[in-house]
Amino acid sequence: MTRRKSMKRVYNTLVILFGLLMVGALNSCSLDEQVYTQVDKGEYVKDAQQAESVLLGVYDGLGVDGVYGHNLSMIFDMPNDQAKPDGTTTVGNRLQASNAYSTTDAEVQETWAALYAGIYNANSFIETMEVRLPEFSEKDIELGEIYVAEAKVLRAIYYFELVSWFGNVPLITSTAMSRLHPSKFVQEKPVKVYEYIEADLLDAIPVLPWVGEDIRPNTAFRISKGTAYGLLAKVYAKWAGYPLQDNSKWKLAADAAAEVVNSGKHSLVPSYKTLWTNCANNVWNEKESLLEISYWSPQSTNTTSGRVGKWNGVSAANGAIKGNYNIALYKVSPNFPAEWKDYDKDERWGFAFADYKYTVDAGKTILATAKVNGVATDITFEMAMNKDWLGWDISWRSKYSGQLTPRKWDIEEFVKDENQLPDNNYSNVNWYVLRYADVLLLYAEALNEQYGKPTSEAYEAINQVRRRGFGLDVTLPSAEADLPADMDYADFQQAVRDERGYELCHEGHRRQDLVRWGIYYETVQATYKKLMDWHETAPEYYIGALYTFKNKNELLPIPQREMDLCEQFEQNEGWK
């Protein structure tokens, strides 16, 4: 995704011409409630430059609040075994982050609507290009074909999120279908949606260029062949897991991930910290970042910016930081960093949580203090979690029951002054949707599942991620970082699951990982019990366990508005 302000200016003009302002209708089944103005698609998009401008609008749908701008990246990822909302109530967005919402929830409706808006825009662009592409110049035809491939990948992403979060959803394959009467809409079985996603990605892959082999005039934050292969691996891994559990897809997941790994086009950035300074300052690294939402804005306006670091960053009081303050709704469950294996060697541990906040008077301030041998002392999280620490007291832990936040998006620490957005709710910090490290871990997982044991390639994939985490050269074997070479299937499976938690914590993957592993409910309840052992106050801050049920919260409900309008719809299990 390129700089979104300039992108929107062109797109907002063309969107009117295509009649895409039907958002209220196209996002639901209430398609007979709007007046449409559908202009001839063949009259516009006369060259590749115009086509690209419209395509970037299809990208833009990824960054809205209903998709990765807020809901799927932050509030619906909770509760899990790593994170929970702040406080002890279900007020505000704590409702969604605690699974306490109902079928009429506004954010559930917003996410459904935003994903179908993205699908409509992708469908419209693809249909437009079918009409206009034959009349392009020879050079523009090549570019136009790549743009169509990008749109197919984007459509696949929107559908992948829909089927992952909502289960049985309508499959809308054209703009004409979007204008059917609500009574005509039916839900497809998830396998049909997965097949459609698979087809889109397989169509796009041969056309898309690898990074470094690109003819597009703008390549930053854009989908490449590696992106499509990586997404395909992720789709197959989900397909192989709950609820479909089609084990034949593990081989396909491994094969897709292998294309990325063996291409030589992607690699891990040497330092884990670089990931967070990069996304904080709109620095695109095409080697590791396979899909990233750019929220950079050249002006102090929230029209093109996001919530990264504001809602899921370090707590900051009003006026305590250059960006005014941080809401910091997203909190880290203390059991997660406390149980981190090799935490003292793993550099990622220090980015998984912040045991400090920002105050007006003192700036960066530790969350807990206590008298140790009569001396006022700052109590770090490491001190609180370690019972062997000299002078340790259980009371040290109480301050860390509900105040830890992620450090990955510490705006005050990582964002340069020129990229600061002085707004209470929005920032210029980017959001990673898919990183190369994710693909390496999917590769390791898929190989283990395919063969019933870890292969040498599986070891190398996961060990590269671990070596980088330990601050080492990823290409060199390490007795310190590498996993034991004699692990069986179950041990390696658990190691991969742990590693995904360490590497990708708080990046919007954890809940869906737990769901596809078939252990979401069990993990939430087990986390509640672990927090009892942490400190007696901790369970009060993990109220999501009270609202999470088996065979219900693996999916969001079909929004009640859709159920009321689309008479053939059936509600998801547990939400009836």
- Considering only the C-alpha atoms of the chain, give the largest distance between any 2 of them, rounded to a whole number of Å: 82
Q: Token digits for 252?
A: 């396909």
pLDDT band at 56 (very low <50, low <70, confident <90, very high): very high
pLDDT of amino acid 40: 53
Preceding peptide of 557 cis, ω within 30°: no
What are the tens digits of pLDDT across the range 370-382? 999 899 999 999 9
Q: Token digits for 439?
A: 């693909």
As a whole number of angstroms, the distance between CA 249 and CA 261 comes to 18
Q: Name which of 318, 339, 314 is nearest 403 in CA terms.
A: 314
Mean pLDDT of 69-92: 97
Domain boundaries, the chain: 1-207+509-576, 316-429
Contacts of 482 (CB under 8 A, 6+ apart): 459, 463, 466, 467
pLDDT band at 303 (very low <50, low <70, confident <90, very high): low
Please state whether the predicted TM-score (pTM) of the whole model is above 0.85.
Answer: yes
Cβ distance 37 to 95 under 8 Å? no
At the top level of CATH, which class does the domain 1-207+509-576 belong to?
A: mainly alpha
The tokens 């690898």 sit on which residue? 210
Q: Token digits for 159?
A: 């559908």
User: Is 60 exceeded by the pLDDT of residue 89?
Assistant: yes
pLDDT band at 432 (very low <50, low <70, confident <90, very high): very high
* β-sheet bridge partners, residue 405: 354
Main-chain dihedrals φ then ψ at residue 465, nearest 5 degrees: -65, -45
Contacts of 120 (CB under 8 A, 6+ apart): 20, 22, 26, 172, 175, 178
3-state secondary structure of 516: helix
Q: Name which of 75, 76, 79 is nearest 530 in CA terms.
A: 79
Cβ distance 152 to 160 under 8 Å? no
User: Is 60 exceeded by the pLDDT of residue 438?
Assistant: yes
As a whole number of angstroms, the distance between CA 453 and CA 448 comes to 5
User: Is 60 exceeded by the pLDDT of residue 249?
Assistant: yes
As a whole number of angstroms, the distance between CA 183 and CA 100 comes to 30
Mean pLDDT of 388-412: 95
User: Is 60 exceeded by the pLDDT of residue 98?
Assistant: yes
As a whole number of angstroms, the distance between CA 270 and CA 267 comes to 9
User: Is 50 exceeded by the pLDDT of residue 27?
Assistant: no
As a whole number of angstroms, the distance between CA 295 and CA 297 comes to 6
As a whole number of angstroms, the distance between CA 250 and CA 126 comes to 30
Question: Mean pLDDT score of the chain, rounded to an integer?
Answer: 92
CA distances from 234 to 141, 209, 227, 445, 527 (A): 30, 20, 11, 11, 26
What are the tens digits of pLDDT across the range 467-505? 999 999 999 999 999 999 999 999 999 999 999 999 999
